[in-house]
Amino acid sequence: MSKSTSYSDATQVVHAGSVVDEKTAALSPVIVTSTTFEQTSPGVHKGYEYSRAATPTRDQLETALARLENTQYALSFASGLAAEQAILQLCDQGDHILSCDDVYGGTRRLGEKVWARYGLTFNYMDTCHLDKVETYLKQHTTKMLWIETPTNPTLRIMDLQSLGALAKKYGCLFVVDNTFASPIFQKPIDFGADIIVHSTTKYISGHCDVLGGAVMTSQTPIYEKLQFLQMATGAVPSPFDCYLLLRSLPTLALRMHKHAENALKLATFLSNHNKITKVIYPGLPSHPNHELAKQQMSGCSGMVSFYYDTDLEGIARFSQSCKLFYLAESLGGVKSMINHPAAMTHVSVDKTVRESLGITDQLLRLSVGIEDPEDLIADLKQALK
Q: What is the DSSP string of 330-376?
A: ---SSS-EEE-TTTTTTTTS-HHHHHHTT--TTEEEEE--SS-HHHH
Q: Are strands 96-100 and 195-198 parallel, antiparallel or unpaired?
A: unpaired
Which residue out of 187, 202, 255, 365 is catalytically annotated? 202
**What is the DSSP code (8-state) at residue 79?**
S
Q: Which residues pair with 97 in a beta bridge?
A: 122, 144
Q: Residue 198: its pLDDT value, please?
A: 98
Active site residue 58: no
Helices (H), the chain: 9-15, 56-68, 80-88, 105-109, 130-139, 160-169, 182-185, 220-233, 239-248, 252-271, 290-296, 312-321, 351-356, 373-384
CA–CA distance, 185 with 295 (Å, rounded to integer):
11
**What is the DSSP code (8-state) at residue 297?**
-
Which residue out of 48, 73, 104, 308 is catalytically annotated? 104
Q: Residue 3: its pLDDT value, please?
A: 44
CA–CA distance, 277 with 270 (Å, rounded to integer):
9
* Amino acid occupying residue 102: D
Coil, helix or strand for 153?
coil
Active site residue 104: yes
* Amino acid occupying residue 194: D
Strand order in the sheet with 213-217: 73-77, 213-217, 195-198, 173-177, 144-148, 96-100, 121-125
CA–CA distance, 328 with 317 (Å, rounded to integer):
15
**Other Cβ atoms within 10 Å of 18 Cβ, number:** 15
Active site residue 177: yes
Which residue out of 9, 177, 194, 379 is catalytically annotated? 177
**Other Cβ atoms within 10 Å of 271 Cβ, number:** 14
Q: Which of 183, 219, 223, 217 is nearest to 202 (CA)?
A: 183
Decide: 269 and 380 in contact? Cβ < 8 Å.
yes
CA–CA distance, 329 with 374 (Å, rounded to integer):
24
Per-residue pLDDT of the chain (385 residues), as tens digits, is 344 457 888 898 888 867 777 778 888 888 999 999 999 999 899 889 999 999 999 999 999 999 999 999 999 999 999 999 999 999 999 999 999 999 999 999 999 999 999 999 999 999 999 999 999 999 999 999 999 999 999 999 999 999 999 999 999 999 999 999 999 999 999 999 999 999 999 999 999 999 999 999 999 999 999 999 999 999 999 999 999 999 999 999 999 999 999 999 999 999 999 999 999 999 999 999 999 999 999 999 999 999 999 999 999 999 999 999 999 999 999 999 999 999 998 998 899 999 999 999 999 999 999 999 999 999 999 999 9
CA–CA distance, 378 with 10 (Å, rounded to integer):
31
Q: Which residues contact 85 (CB under 8 A, 6 or more apart)?
A: 110, 233, 235
b/e for 179-210, b at 16 or more Cβ within 10 A?
bbbbbbbbbbbebbbbbbbbbbbbbbbbebeb
